Amino acid sequence: MLNKSNDDPRSNIYEEQRPWGRFRRFTLNQFSTVKLITVNPGQVLSLQFHNYRDELWVVLTSGLRITVGEKTWQPKPYEEIFIPRKTHHRVEGMGLHPSYWFEISLGKFDEEDIVRLDDNYGRK
């Protein structure tokens, strides 16, 4: 994960060891939206950013290529990716099967808060 500042919502992530393993709590009594996102092989989400929310992604499967800002890579399952508001980002399905990740949005969530910079499907 990246270095965290006091304004970084990741500073609230809590981890606790238990006899059976551990857990990570990403939000606690906090305004957030959680989505499970699927991208099909060969498909690509728009290059986009948001003005009113940060996003924390937890990659669940392989087969994704992710761009955040100037960095592009293929994350491993369970990798956590933080995307501060106004940061350009995109996801591509690179595998032979659908790929999945959890998106935890922190801040004001509205599907209209998607500013598309490039979109293969003609959306604005």
Domain-by-domain residue ranges, the chain?
31-118
CATH number of 31-118: 2.60.120.10
Segment 26-57, tens digit of pLDDT: 888 888 899 999 999 999 999 999 999 999 99
pTM strictly above 0.95 = no
In the chain, the DSSP E strands lie at: 14-18, 21-25, 32-39, 47-49, 53-59, 64-68, 71-73, 80-83, 89-93, 99-107, 115-118
Segment 2-17, tens digit of pLDDT: 445 557 778 888 999 9
